[in-house]
Structure 1
Amino acid sequence: MQQAIVGFYLDVEDHWVADLASGHTQHVRHTPPWQNRPWVMTEEGRKEKIGMMLECKECDQINKN
């Protein structure tokens, strides 16, 4: 289920995590070549992604049950 990004924070391992409108979270790592998200490395890039839709795996799991 698609959910909007409402904010970001760093986890205890210094990886960026997106807060989603559903109240769930999702890591948004920049680890090329597997995950190419250079925008997450700058404050400006993260601000530009507020409102962007991400697939919320937790919502998908809840809706399966």
Structure 2
Amino acid sequence: MLQAITGYHLDDENHWVARLKCLHFQHVRHQPPFINRPWVLQRETREAMLGQQLDCKKCDHGELADY
């Protein structure tokens, strides 16, 4: 299910995590060639992605909110 990005935080290993409108968290790593998300590397480009939608697998599986 597509959900909008509402914010970000760093996890315990300093990986970026998106907070989604559905109250789930989703890692948004940049690990080429497997995951190409260079926009997570700078504050300005992360902020530009606020409101964009990510596919939330936790919603698809009916999981409870992360926070």
TM-score, L = length of structure 1: 0.94
After superposition, the CA RMSD in angstroms is 1.1
Matched, 1:36 2:27: no
Q: Which residue identity lines up with residue 40 of structure 1 in the other structure?
A: V
Percent identical among aligned pairs is: 54
Runs (4+) off by over 4 Å: none
Q: CA deviation at 1:31?
A: 0.4
Mark the runs of 5 or more structure 1 residues left unpaired by the alignment. Answer: none
Q: CA deviation at 1:51?
A: 0.2
TM-score, L = length of structure 2: 0.91
Q: CA deviation at 1:33?
A: 0.4
